[in-house]
Structure 1
C-alpha cells in the first residue's frame, strides 16, 4: 500500500471498493490514503487510539490520519523527507514522528 502512495505522491481519496471500508473506523473517513498508518503505534490517546488489554495498540476509533487536510500534510512532509519506499518509514521513524507532532499542532485531533 505505501509503495503505491509514495510512488503516486498524491492522496488516494475514499476507496469504497476496499473490502475493509464498511468496517474501517465506522465509515467515518474522508481519505483512505493511509489505510496503514505510518505512525503506528503512536500510543497517543488524544487521537482516540487506545490500549487493548494493556498490550495491543488499537487505532479503530482514530480518524485523525483519515482527515483530508491531515493526510495531505503528512504526505507532503513524507515527500519532503525524501521518503519514496515503504522501508523509509522504519528508517525515518524519528523524523516521521516529528512530522506527526508538527501536523498534530496544525490539525489537532
Structure 2
C-alpha cells in the first residue's frame, strides 16, 4: 500500500483496495460486537490536513441505529471503491474488454 506516497503499481493499487475493504469489514464487526458504540459520536475529532485542519464536532444525538447504518454505508462505499479500483487496474494492465459481444446481432426484418 502506498497511502499516496511512493510508486503506485497495479499490485499496490489492488492491495490498497483489499486493505481498505478489510478495514471496513473489521470496523463493521467491531460495531456489531458493541466494541465501537454510539459514544463515538460524543467525541470531537481533529482532522489533520497539513494546514489549519478541520474540526468535526461531537454529535451527541447519534444513536446505535445511526452508527449501524453509517458503518453499513462505509462497507458499501469500500466495496464499491475496491471493485472500481480492481476494474480500472485490470483495464490498465490487460486492456479494456472488446466492444464486441458474444451475442449475435438481431436480424433485421425485410
TM-score where L is the length of structure 1: 0.28
Kindly indicate which of the two structures has a greater share of residues assigned to helix.
2
TM-score where L is the length of structure 2: 0.28
> Which entry has the higher C-alpha Rg, 1 or 2?
2
